[in-house]
């Protein structure tokens, strides 16, 4: 297990290097001069040149890349061009709302998707199955900005139950926090719920049609036990893969969700920094989101092995 982990971690190094190079070059290809943006009204060429030198933007690109990478591995992602704060601090601040939002979204998805998926597989073609299938269809076909706006329209504007936007930290004020994150979490969790539900259903259906399930039934096991111990356990593998991929993608969903609900998280930071041409922040956030994505896939791989002893990690 440890050997596998080490091997996988080493394997991610070339990928991370390529990613960092891609991120770095992308950001420097963005049209528009950050120094101009910063300086605003000031057009004095000498001031601009000094500013550029201060930020190290006058050095050749490969020197800038080497310097950036060298600092990045030591946890220093530079300073925001806009606010002059260290990027690491900015990102860490913004991480909190996003983590809270994603955690609630995942919880919601899990609580809804697994039982619904199991029910629709065990009671195939029932009404529950039809409703779940229709919901899954909705979940994968609706853009999440539309889901968010529909929820705001119904629950905030028409019913007046929940705030339209804004963010309250859950740990500071649990009730207000939950109220502020309820709609964003449903928005973010919708697609995840749909995908997990579909996967649970099809994977469970497949494993329930296996011979060992018939054997289990034949020896007189209670249906509940057959489904959970024999069916579900064997159905979990593909579900874990899909969940791993989807969790990594939550951040992408958070971009839109946080944008709509004005939540000061990582997703919002990506959009804001793109429009402000804040290179260092953009590079930092994108790089960290990639690391998070790779990590979630790695966790899925490890879970895989613990679920299925047949899989040798090598």
Partner 1 sequence: MVLRRVVRARLAPLGIAICFFVVAAALFAPVIAPYDPAATDIMNSLQRPNLAHWLGTDDLGRDIFSRVIFGSRISLLVGGIAVGAALLIGTTIGVVAGYFAGIIDNIAMRIMDSILSFPALVLAIAVAAVLGAGLAAPMIAIAVVYIPAFARVARGQVLSTKEQEFVLAAQTVGSDHRRIMFRHVFPNITAPLIVQASLSVAFAILAEASLSFLGLGVKPPEASWGRMVSEGRQYLQDAPWLVFGPGVAIFLTVMGLNFVGDALRDALDPRLRM
Residues 253-312 that bind partner 1 (CB under 8 A): 253, 255-256, 259-260, 270-271, 274-275, 282, 286, 289-290, 293-294
Q: Which residue lies nearer to partner 1 by CB, 36 or 141?
A: 141
Q: Which stretch binds partner 1 (CB under 8 A): 17-25, 58-66, 80-88, 181-189?
A: 17-25
Q: Which residues on adjacent β-strands are paired with residue 18? A: none
- Please pick, from the candidates 5, 6, 26, 53, the single residue that binds partner 1 as defined by CB under 8 A: 26
Q: Which residue lies nearer to partner 1 by CB, 51 or 242?
A: 242
- Minimum distance, C-beta of residue 194 to partner 1, in the bound complex (Å): 11
Under the binding rule (CB under 8 A), the answer on residue 65 touching partner 1 is no
136-155 footprint of partner 1 as x/- string (CB under 8 A): -x--xxxxxxx--xx-xx--
- Minimum distance, C-beta of residue 43 to partner 1, in the bound complex (Å): 23
- Minimum distance, C-beta of residue 147 to partner 1, in the bound complex (Å): 10
Identify the three-state secondary structure at position 105.
Answer: helix
Q: Which residue lies nearer to partner 1 by CB, 42 or 134?
A: 134
Q: Residues 75, 286, 238, 221: is their CA dihedral positive or negative? A: positive
Total residues contacting partner 1 by CB under 8 A comes to 48
Buried b (16+ CB within 10 A) or exposed e, 189-218: bbbbbbbbbbbbbbbbbebbeeeebeebee
- Minimum distance, C-beta of residue 2 to partner 1, in the bound complex (Å): 23
CA angle 270, 16, 308 (to 5 degrees): 105
> Contact, 140 vs 172, CB < 8 A?
no
Q: Tokens representing 200?
A: 């649970």
Q: Which residue lies nearer to partner 1 by CB, 53 or 140?
A: 140
Q: Which stretch binds partner 1 (CB under 8 A): 2-10, 38-46, 171-179, 196-204?
A: 196-204
Distances in Å between the Cα of 285 and the Cα atoms of 63, 90, 278, 290 are 21, 9, 11, 9
78-117 footprint of partner 1 as x/- string (CB under 8 A): ----------------------------------------
From the centroid of its chain, how far is CA 24? Answer: 21
Burial classification of residue 232, based on how many CB atoms lie within 10 Å of its CB (0-12 exposed, 13-18 middle, 19 or more buried): buried
Q: Which residue lies nearer to partner 1 by CB, 67 or 154?
A: 154
> Contact, 181 vs 170, CB < 8 A?
yes
């Amino acid at each position: 297990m440890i050997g596998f982990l080490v091997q996988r971690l080493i394997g991610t190094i070339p990928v991370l290097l390529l990613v960092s190079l891609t991120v770095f070059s992308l950001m420097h290809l963005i049209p528009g001069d950050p120094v101009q943006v910063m300086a605003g009204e000031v057009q004095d060429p000498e001031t601009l040149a000094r500013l550029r030198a201060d930020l190290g933007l006058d050095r050749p690109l490969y020197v800038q890349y080497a310097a950036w990478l060298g600092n990045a591995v030591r946890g220093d992602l530079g300073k925001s061009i806009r606010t002059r704060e260290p990027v690491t601090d900015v990102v860490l601040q913004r991480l909190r709302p996003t983590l809270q939002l994603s955690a609630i979204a995942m919880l919601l998805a899990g609580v809804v998707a697994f039982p619904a998926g199991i029910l629709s597989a065990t009671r195939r073609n029932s009404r529950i199955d039809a409703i779940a299938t229709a919901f899954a269809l909705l979940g994968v076909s609706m853009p999440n900005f539309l889901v968010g706006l529909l929820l705001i329209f119904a629950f905030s504007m028409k019913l007046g139950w929940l705030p339209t936007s804004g963010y309250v930290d859950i740990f500071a004020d649990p009730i207000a926090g939950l109220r502020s994150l309820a709609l964003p979490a449903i928005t973010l969790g919708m697609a995840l719920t749909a995908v997990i539900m579909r996967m649970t259903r099809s994977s469970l259906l497949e494993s329930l049609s296996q011979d060992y399930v018939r054997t289990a039934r034949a020896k007189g096991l209670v249906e509940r036990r057959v489904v959970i111990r024999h069916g579900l356990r064997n159905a979990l593998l593909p579900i874990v893969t899909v969940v791993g991929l989807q969790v990594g993608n939550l951040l992408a969903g958070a971009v839109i969700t946080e944008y709509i609900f004005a939540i000061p998280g990582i997703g919002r930071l990506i959009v804001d920094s793109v429009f402000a041409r804040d290179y260092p922040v953009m590079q930092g956030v994108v790089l960290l989101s990639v690391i998070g994505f790779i990590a979630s896939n790695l966790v899925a791989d490890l879970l895989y092995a613990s679920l299925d002893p047949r899989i040798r990690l090598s």
